[in-house]
Amino acid sequence: MTTDEEHFAGLLRHLDDGPDRPSRVDLSTAIREARRRRRNRRTFTASVAGVAAVAAVAAVPLAVRAGRPAEQGPPMATGTSASASLPPPSASPSLPPPSSGPTTCTPELLPIPGGARKSLVTGGDPTGRYLLGRSYLNRGFSYPVIIWDGDRAHEVRLPGSDQQLTDISPSGVAVGGAYVGDRPQPYVVRSGKATRLPGVAAGEATAISDDGRIVGARQVGDRRLPVLWSDPGKPAVDLPLPGPKWEGIAIGVDSEGTVVGKIQNGPSGATQAVVWRSGGKPELLPLPSVTDGTATEFHPVSFQGGWITGTAYRDDGDTRFIHAVRYHLARGEYVPLPAKLNPSAGNGRGWMVGPLDHIDAGLTTDDGLVRLPDFDGGTGRYGAGAVSISDDGQVIGGQLDTKPDRRTIEMRAVRWRCH
């Protein structure tokens, strides 16, 4: 899930019609709700005091070989860690090398049950068959969530408020969360039915593997601790951490039992990417080399096909520089990207989608950058977002801010078809 600041900033930006336009949103209520969410669900993105500017620079990290801090020791081959109950690893098919990445993308509006005028995409599966999202029907903070199977839209009701589905497997099993009272609760959706995941009093589910393993976090006071559900019917188990003060969240899992997350040493610690191999201890990934130095933090956003993709930050005084980075787990190195991007998601080829600036969204492949167009063939001049990409790069899920009249800007869930 996105951080509270990101989510509510986006919510207010899209739902507020502006000072000179009629608005259906009670901004004071929204702000109070945002503060309540922030108190009850801490973010794990360490901030830099006094950051005055964010400058995006060319994302070309140097190759860095994998290393492991001395405090962690060698990985365990077997043992009684949180991953010990996993089923035997299954073979992970490798993707054939593509001749080239997509160069042209065309947006399509996704159908919305109930006729809601505002909607967005929140995730998708690696095949491109399924997309996830939600609509806004002016019901306060309670949102119908949607699963798109191709062109068919299925509305799913989750209890509570702030409902969101975050990931879905190729077999159509989705995971996400919702607030019930003041507590976030993790859910799995199978055959249109939402079921609360067991073993977590408060927490969230962020990702699901092809064979049904689920990861996320449980909330303990002001901390989140990464967890794994070996299947939807079994209670969550904690993933081991480097020390007693560490905290964080798991963001990806594959069918071999490898889990990727982001953790930090205490609430003010720098965020780092971490890998748990099946039955093993946590392995902190090295911080990547970026332009003019070494990154201060690395926030992974996805783990797919052996690629860990995310954002590296380098702080220089009051300025924070942003770099898109990708790490190939089997090779144990960061692999350079030819174009800059602030990634929201990556695929099994290491390609990424995400915002380019405050207006446009794009796709970066090994061949370069493709800006995602709006319906007029432009680049989403009223705003665009991309949050999922299929492994072949041909299906991207996100949103476009449309302007149906002179007074209104509306966010609409879209799918880009790319070739």
- Amino acid present at 334: Y
The list of the chain residues with pLDDT below 50 reads 1-94
Average pLDDT over the chain, rounded to an integer: 80
Using CA atoms, how far apart are residues 18 and 154, in angstroms rounded to an integer?
A: 32
Residue found by looking up tokens 């991309």 in the block? 386
Residue 183, pLDDT score: 96
Phi, psi of 251 (to 5 degrees): -120, -5
Q: 97 in helix, strand or coil?
A: coil
Nearest Cα residue to 56 out of 369, 339, 383: 339
Using CA atoms, how far apart are residues 272 and 260, in angstroms rounded to an integer?
A: 11
Residue 377, pLDDT score: 75
Residue 85, pLDDT score: 29
Tokens linked to 274? 């971490």
- Amino acid present at 371: R
pLDDT in tens, 40-79: 443 323 322 222 222 333 333 333 333 333 222 222 222 2
Beta bridge partners of 308: 303, 327
Residue 380, pLDDT score: 64
Nearest Cα residue to 64 out of 290, 297, 341, 313: 290
Residue 10, pLDDT score: 42
CA dist 416 → 292, 319, 359, 397 (Å): 35, 34, 17, 6
Residue found by looking up tokens 């797919």 in the block? 304
Residue 340, pLDDT score: 86
Residue found by looking up tokens 């796709």 in the block? 363
- Amino acid present at 282: P
Residue 199, pLDDT score: 97
Domain with residue 346: its CATH number is 2.120.10.30
Residue 84 near residue 395 (C-beta atoms within 8 A): no
pLDDT in tens, 143-154: 999 999 999 999
**Domains identified in the chain, total number:** 1
The domain in which residue 385 lies consists of: 4-418
pLDDT in tens, 160-207: 999 999 999 999 999 999 999 999 999 999 999 999 999 999 999 999
Residue 376, pLDDT score: 78
Nearest Cα residue to 305 out of 264, 352, 339: 352
